[in-house]
Structure 1
């Protein structure tokens, strides 16, 4: 049987998860991990490959990074069963110091955005509640674009996909209330593209205390359990209960060498504190490392112990990678990075132009839509007016018919009124005739009144003459009485002088006195007649006066002016408050244009101004975000359930009250000298 000249190579199927999509490849079973890594980077268009790596979960569910210089199957990757594919993960292994300045490609920022969002939602990265809401609003902007109330109706987002479960459970708020808080900030992000929204997300997330830090459980020489944190700028030590605030930190520029032997890891510091090439060694035996173990006697050495020897390899690999990136960032950019930045700037300028064009088109489209809506509104108004006119016409026809019937009825009523008018005119003529007769009767009555007045005057004259006669009679009576009194006096004188007998004088006196009262008591005949005539004349006069009054009150005064007197109304023009018009407000704003950059200024001055402008804008935006976070925190503070607050929540709240932040705490942990920091660490 002939043997084949070439042996058929075996292949394996792999599935790579990138948090954005799942990629499937078929490669040789002898392929190196670097080949698979490069294949993935070319597929997704990634050029900033130094931040990323391949990882897997071993049979003990431990997260392990793949060494790219080794064959893929030489790692302890669980073998697929029943034709399943080999499962790998493509993740960010190292983090930059500044997301905005160092991440160049859009795809790089997108992968970091997805990974940090996943860490926050899975609660592997602590994020305070108010920052979680703000980050969720940028995530919604990146996913859905600008807010549109017609499209983004209530319930358009899943709160569980935006906020950590810890945050949701910590407050007595419904999903609707959370959505309202997120939407209120989401509306303020209008105009941000997906890349810009994700970059804002990363800029906020990088200020979180645990962002970009890889934690490992370690022990110091005393056996105290601590956390070792490795990040882009330093290696730090944390208390077991506090992964937010480091106790001591060592920048990569302060370290000169590191090595491990079994579960013991030693980091040597650079006494000159100058950046030097970091040596990484691994002691393979106690004999080889025993001369070097004299390093333990050096007080500046940072020594810790791990539970598993394999962890030291991962720590060494992360320290080496972060140190290389730390030193590379402080050197001049390579040609590749300069080319990438130039292409990114050109791409950014192109996108800005494209965005400006799209905004213009959008404005024009909105203008056209507004005009269309205006025309539709006018058309609808015209249709409504036409319909109203038709309705009015039909109503007018009905009204015309009703008016015709009313006109007919009015004509009949007019005929009746005309007949009534004729009858009224005849009646008026009759009344006028009667009125003329009444006037003649009034004239005759007036003549009779004049006659009565004349008779009354004559009677009054007669009464006055009779009164004068009565006065004369009274005078005569008075004179007679006076004469009688004189006679009595003379008789008394005679009686006193005479010496007649008492009997004769008494008789004479009785006769005389008997006749005297009779004369005085009997009235004169003329006087009685005069009194009777006077009484009669008075009675006639009263009758005449009553008759005159009755005639005067009779309805003869028909020509009197019955209109009421004209009342002159008082001048009601009261004093009115003077109307004072406010002086016009000058709304003009004098804008002084910033002087343009003179042609003689060089490129460095322009670059400095641009950097300063960006710094000012960033500071203003940061202050605005801080104010928003403080406002949201005060709004939801009353709804917090204190029993559900975690240790990280209490630590973050305590640090915030003291005015601490991620960078202030990191700087504080580096204030002491290296020897003092090592002594502080060993004393824990």
Structure 2
């Protein structure tokens, strides 16, 4: 076979069988490429699912940790508030004793003055001996001076106790503001959106985890003594202390600069207007099922 025949054979069009074989080979090649692309896409999708799952588990642990921190801050603020109330009560008792002592000394001073006046009158009326009158007068004068000094000391003590009571009241108000600030903490951020292919899978797993989480949350945070809801504060029991605290609060409100109010000051003012305190908040949180309790806590 010569070169011319080979050249002519190459120039001839392919037969139908050859064309079918080439088309079949091309189709098989495209099918393999499509399968490789599908496998690669499935691999990437599975990796994305695993990554989303790990991210959601991590965020769940972070949310649980932050919730635990909020609980600790609330308990610590309640302990500090109780200590401040006890301290204010002790200071009030010390102030009362100092006032009684000052009143007793004042009564003795007045009695001494009256005795001095009586002696002076008797000296004029009866013309007693000058030595005896002078001695008695000096004695009562010395006693009056001593009582005057004691009265001044007691007045200083009363002022000191008054100042300490005001400081305790300021600490009490600051502790209450810290408690309101913890209870009014911003809600936790929602988790990032998940991809559509993993929605059913994630929902199913979250449903199972949510059942376990609700049970753990109920056992850990809501199975405690609920006597706190029915507690009556000492300020509510003692009408006189309550009136004094109200008067101090009014004085502080008048002295406060309205242009320098913080966000916590505004929240505290709103809570006072509607009559909301920590015991009402605890009762409100503990009403309803677990989901409602979590929603109520996050809405604060």
Shorter-chain TM-score range: 0.3 to 0.5
TM-score by length of 2: 0.33
Higher strand share: 1
TM-score by length of 1: 0.17
Q: Which has the higher contact order (CA 8 A, sep 6+)?
A: 2
